[in-house]
């Protein structure tokens, strides 16, 4: 009896996730984004105290997947650089049921932000945001609110959790508005680098062809030895493997299973359930009923060319199990590109050829900066333009 009840709860949870993802596909232009988050929060709260006989691991997975669903709203609204800054302080998922009326106060402030023309995101409902209680977005900028369900204190705390909380928020505000912040042991600066965009049209086409395929598998070529494979849960490993072998020549390609991002998504590598495709496809990608695999020969980054008399080489390397790129100028190492950039084309549907051209342009810029540095005393390239960003604390009225 307990097993049947657990199976029933599991099916009910999966249906809840499907309904929420289908609604998310229409937000924020249709529907009420605050009510949607309230329902999702209630679903998390209900699973924090699952009934007798309910698998605790399944309940934990349900709560995680609900937060991954809200990550889709985060990626839809916030710039990547803002998400990165707000996710620099990760921690374990917050218990919602233990917050009681304080959590209700957060939703009260979210409704207030909505009335002012902002689209609010409740931070504790995501896996990505570690600063503030609410992130509000509109076309003019971003506001982050810390919500305190108590009267304004007579003096500000200078030590303890509240002081650290405020310091983190103020540092993010300084960094995003000025593109520079002194963190004590180092100074963090933001520079502009235009990266190629993922090919979302290719993903949509691929998923539709996969659904129409009798075998349940389909492939999309993003370039030479650079493919994206889609498969339904009914497809066999043999069918997927045969399609890969027929579509790529490299004997040692890199593979990325995008389903891994359900548990490891970041500001740059979002879970496939956040992709701008149909709501039902997003749900199936979340649940593992539909999955994507990237197969790519990372040696395709290699390049040698001459720019303004300098010989430039792009040299792909593996370091600590990650793909990096060394940039040599006139036979000597000049700099390295970290895996966060080189793996962009592995963990997102971004063509390697487009990323390669971006890094070639970057290498040309390095040559120009090297020549400029020899003539004047500039410390480096100009900082990125600051964002419109505000961090504030809201207290309960007296």
Q: Give the Cα separation of 256 and 244 in Å (integer).
A: 13
The per-residue pLDDT for range 165-178, each reduced to its tens digit, is 888 898 999 999 99
Which pLDDT does position 84 carry in this prediction? 93
Confidence of residue 350 (pLDDT cuts 50, 70, 90): very high
The 10s digit of each residue's pLDDT in 32-90 is 999 999 999 999 999 998 877 789 999 999 999 999 999 999 999 999 999 999 998 77
pLDDT, tens digit, 9 for 90 and up, residues 106-158: 999 999 999 999 999 999 999 999 999 999 999 999 999 999 999 998 788 77
pLDDT of residue 398: 75
Least confident of 133-142, 242-251, 363-372: 363-372
Contacts of 230 by beta carbon, 8 Å cutoff, 6+ apart: 206, 207, 209, 210, 217, 218, 219, 220, 290, 291, 292, 293
Q: What is the pTM of this model?
A: 0.92
pLDDT value for 2: 46
Write the CA distances from 22 to 11, 17, 51, 352, integer angstroms: 17, 9, 27, 31
Q: What pLDDT is stored for residue 4 in this prediction?
A: 45
Angle, nearest 10°, between helix axes 56-77 and 279-287?
140
Band of pLDDT at residue 389, cut at 50, 70 and 90: very high
Highest mean pLDDT among 160-169, 170-179, 228-237: 228-237
């Amino acid at each position: 009896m307990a097993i049947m009840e657990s199976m029933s709860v599991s099916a009910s949870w999966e249906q809840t996730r499907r309904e929420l993802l289908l609604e998310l596909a229409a937000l924020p232009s249709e529907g009420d984004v605050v009510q949607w988050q309230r329902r999702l929060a209630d679903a998390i709260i209900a699973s924090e105290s699952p009934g007798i006989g309910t698998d605790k691991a399944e309940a934990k997975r349900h709560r995680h997947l609900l937060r991954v669903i809200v990550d889709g709203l985060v990626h839809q609204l916030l710039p990547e650089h803002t998400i990165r800054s707000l996710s620099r302080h990760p921690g374990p998922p917050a218990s919602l049921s233990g917050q009681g009326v304080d959590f209700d106060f957060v939703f009260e402030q979210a409704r207030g932000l909505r009335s002012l023309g902002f689209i609010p995101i409740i931070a504790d409902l995501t896996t990505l945001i570690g600063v503030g209680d609410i992130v509000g977005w509109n076309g003019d900028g971003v506001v982050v609110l810390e919500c305190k369900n108590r009267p304004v204190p007579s003096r500000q705390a200078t030590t303890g959790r509240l002081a650290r909380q405020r310091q983190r928020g103020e540092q993010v505000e300084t960094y995003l508005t000025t593109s520079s912040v002194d963190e004590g042991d180092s100074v963090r600066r933001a520079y502009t680098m235009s990266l190629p965009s993922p090919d979302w049209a290719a993903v949509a086409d691929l998923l539709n062809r996969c659904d129409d395929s009798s075998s349940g598998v389909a492939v999309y070529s993003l370039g030479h030895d650079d493919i994206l494979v889609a498969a339904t849960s009914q497809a066999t490993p043999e069918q997927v493997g045969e399609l890969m072998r027929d579509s790529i020549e490299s004997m040692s390609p890199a593979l990325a299973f995008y389903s891994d991002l359900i548990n490891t998504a970041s500001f740059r590598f979002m879970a496939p359930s956040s992709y701008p495709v149909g709501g039902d496809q997003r749900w199936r990608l979340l649940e593992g009923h539909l999955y994507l695999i990237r197969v790519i020969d990372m040696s395709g980054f290699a390049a040698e060319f001459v720019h303004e008399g300098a010989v430039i080489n792009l040299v792909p390397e593996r370091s600590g199990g990650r793909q990096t790129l060394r940039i040599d100028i006139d036979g000597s190492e000049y700099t390295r590109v970290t895996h966060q950039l080189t793996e962009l084309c592995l963990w997102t549907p971004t063509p390697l050829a487009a990323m390669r051209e971006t890094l070639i342009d970057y290498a040309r810029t390095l040559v120009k900066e090297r020549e400029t540095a020899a003539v004047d005393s500039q410390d480096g390239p100009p900082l990125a333009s600051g964002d419109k960003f505000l961090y504030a604390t809201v207290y309960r009225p007296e």
